[in-house]
Structure 1
């Protein structure tokens, strides 16, 4: 374990440590942005017990952890949302053999989460805090990249796990059995465009038709604020899909979410500019 580094996020000092080349961020420090230090553990427990969080954590572990106990995870997921259900990070790790979260004592002690998970936890605090956290982390990684001459891509880091959460929800709830690959790809693209329309006001095809001279797709040209909101929307849409909410209703809810979060982020545009 390397020496901790500190991110200053809206007056909150947030510790970052590296284990086997992977960055882990102290979510106990982050929780102080929502409550005082004495209640940080409660903020984390309330977050980890929700179905959305468990879906995210379980998907992350299944991608990166070959020793993850899926049966135990399924048990927790079935209990999520019940008033009697409680869960702590320590219980999560002990029962499922999870590697994305750990706790430690002493100086810089607290609960640490892999950066993918910590960014998701940032959503539980506020879109604004999540943006500041990502910008400070981006500054740290770009500094390291310059020093070590390696590439670090913010977009890939932010989007990869949320993408799996979203596609898993589509696969489990929207794709019938015995469907062709062509039909499946249409459903995935259709759901991706729900997010595109809610956030950008246009489908991927509409963007391509107006930007035929550009490489990539609509999301490659998104601002950092839009990417933060998009990652939040992917998790929310996955939850709404699991709840059986009709696509048209989901689009309305996601559009309102996008408007609210973008207004919040852009209202602090001058402050955000100082981070760039």
Structure 2
């Protein structure tokens, strides 16, 4: 299965790879971290760490917190051996015997042993508390840059949506609002068209969303994902064109729904493909 390489931590001259499968849980290369202790054969550093009884108990607690399929029965048998001179544990054995998900071990050019960031930081501390601090410092830098990028993208999409909202309301005013309507009726017409887009994109009206989320401070569009905001901006532009073409609301809804499905699928594909996929086989 392809893994998505996300970024690289730089700590004391060592490059440490990171990948993520779901853009939330990040896995950091234990192999790269171990090179701080033994650059020629980092596998032995990892194996020595896993021979430690405290390490085995830490890994088991992590799995119990995150993995409902953790093989607790098998762990009890291993736990009795941990720490003895004859005890040997490798990442592959741990993953296979315990059905563990906190570590993964693959062969190949971009292979090695990776572990969830929680586990990787514990391993780095075992190697060197000082080295772990260097890793954490650069890791935090990466997270700060990532959060800033996400915030910038979200605000950009929101501004695009606001600009297209003006195009949308102008089209409504010029084509759907007779001059004899009162201000209240005009406002209702605007709200009706806006809610039509809400239903097409989000599957509910603004009032329905507020009723379902009484404790949220913002509105439905404030809580939208970046991809949804981008599609919303395109919906407003497209709906303005359809209004000027004289299409009725029922026909516009069908065309707008088609656009939503097509564009969301495309954006999801682009989101994944922005990251180079590398087989760790």
TM-score, structure 1 normalization: 0.52
1:85 counterpart (81, 84, 87)? 87
Give, in whole Å, the separation in 1 of the partners of 2:68 and 2:83. Answer: 27
Relative CO higher for 1 or 2, CA cutoff 8 Å, sep ≥ 6? 2
Query: Which residue number corresponds to residue 28 of structure 1?
Result: 31
Secondary structure, aligned partner of 1:79: coil
2:21 counterpart (19, 27, 30)? 19
Give, in whole Å, the separation in 2 of the partners of 1:19 and 1:110. Answer: 16
Give, in whole Å, the separation in 2 of the partners of 1:3 and 1:122. Answer: 20
Name stretches of at least 5 consecutive residues in structure 2 with no aligned partner: 153-281
2:126 pairs with 1:129: no
Note the aligned Cα RMSD (angstroms). Answer: 1.3
Aligned length: 149
Q: Structure 1 residue 108: deviation in Å? A: 2.2
1:68 counterpart (54, 70, 73)? 70
Give, in whole Å, the separation in 2 of the partners of 1:134 and 1:75. Answer: 34
8 Å CA contact retained: 2:5, 2:17: no
Q: CA deviation digits over 1:120-163, x for unaligned, max 9?
A: 0011211100000111111111111111139xxxxxxxxxxxxx
2:113 pairs with 1:111: yes
User: Which of 1 and 2 has greater Rg?
Assistant: 2
Query: Which residue number corresponds to residue 95 of structure 1?
Result: 97
Query: Which residue number corresponds to residue 220 of structure 1?
Result: none
Q: CA deviation digits over 1:184-242, x for unaligned, max 9?
A: xxxxxxxxxxxxxxxxxxxxxxxxxxxxxxxxxxxxxxxxxxxxxxxxxxxxxxxxxxx
Secondary structure, aligned partner of 2:121: helix
Q: Structure 1 residue 30: deviation in Å? A: 0.5
Regions of 4+ moved over 4 Å: none
Secondary structure, aligned partner of 2:4: coil
Give, in whole Å, the separation in 2 of the partners of 1:131 and 1:75. Answer: 35
After alignment, is 1-10 or 58-67 more displaced? 1-10
Give, in whole Å, the separation in 1 of the partners of 2:107 and 2:150. Answer: 31
Q: CA deviation digits over 1:92-115, x for unaligned, max 9?
A: 000000000001222321000000
Secondary structure, aligned partner of 2:140: helix
Q: How does 1:150-189 map to 2 (within 5 A)?
A: none
8 Å CA contact retained: 1:73, 1:96: yes
8 Å CA contact retained: 1:15, 1:108: no
Secondary structure, aligned partner of 1:67: coil
Query: Which residue number corresponds to residue 176 of structure 1?
Result: none
Query: Which residue number corresponds to residue 60 of structure 2?
Result: 58
Give, in whole Å, the separation in 2 of the partners of 1:64 and 1:95. Answer: 17
